[in-house]
Amino acid sequence: MGIVVRRINVEDILCAPNSKEILDAYWRECALPAFGEAKPDLSGYKQMEKSGFLKAVGVFDGEKLVGGAYVLLTKLGHYSKMSAAVESLFVLPEARKKGAGTKLLQEIRAISKEAGAPGVFISAPVGSQLERLGRAAGWQNTNTVFFVESK
């Protein structure tokens, strides 16, 4: 069957049998220590999803969830246009060589287009495989994102 990407509900990711495996792997690669351990807020995510502010995408290898993404959709007031931004994106290492990331990014772009956004903002940890992929693919580097701890 191979890699399949499809739109799902947030709950399908957070309540998958292997969700802990995915969250732990995500944490190891993408964590910001100031936020502490990953503790997804299912009710908050469901509320964003219900309002149309969030779309979830799952990546499956057969029946196994091997990755996913949350895309946030909002209108940028100063442009009066829709905006799409990836809140979270992750694919387990074993699925990356199978085209899972490429298929996931295609679906993210489709969600952005359907929402009327001219593109999608994707943030990647410095030095990550996603950052290298973006540079190799010629993605436009529009901003540098800094994290400053609250005092």
The H or E element spanning position 60 is strand 54-61
Residue 147 has pLDDT above 90, yes or no: no
C-alpha–C-alpha distance, residues 66 and 91, integer Å: 6
CATH value of 3-137 in 3.30.1490.100, 3.40.50.2300, 3.40.50.920, 3.40.630.30: 3.40.630.30
For the residues 111-140, what does the mean pLDDT come to? 90
Sketch the domain layout of the chain as residue ranges. Answer: 3-137
Q: What is the pLDDT of residue 133?
A: 85
- The model's pTM is 0.91
Whole-number mean pLDDT of the chain?
92
Q: What is the mean pLDDT of residues 39-56?
A: 95
Long-range Cβ pairs for the range 90-96 (8 Å, 24+): 90/22, 90/25, 90/26, 90/29, 90/30, 91/59, 91/66, 91/67, 92/21, 92/22, 92/25, 92/66, 92/67, 93/25, 94/61, 94/66, 95/3, 95/59, 95/61, 95/66, 95/67, 96/129
Confidence check: pLDDT of 137 > 80: yes
Whole-number Å distance between alpha carbons of 119 and 99:
21
pLDDT at 32 over 80: yes
What local confidence, expressed as pLDDT, does residue 136 receive?
A: 86
Cross-strand bridge partners of residue 82: 75
**pLDDT level of residue 141 (50, 70, 90 thresholds):** confident
Residue 94: per-residue pLDDT: 92
What pLDDT, on a 0 to 100 scale, did the predictor assign at position 104? 94
Tens of pLDDT, residues 100-110 = 999 999 999 99
- pLDDT at residue number 31: 82
| pLDDT per residue as tens digits for the range 71-101 | 999 999 999 999 999 999 999 999 999 999 9
Report pLDDT for 114.
97
Please name the residue that has the structure tokens 């502010």.
Answer: 53
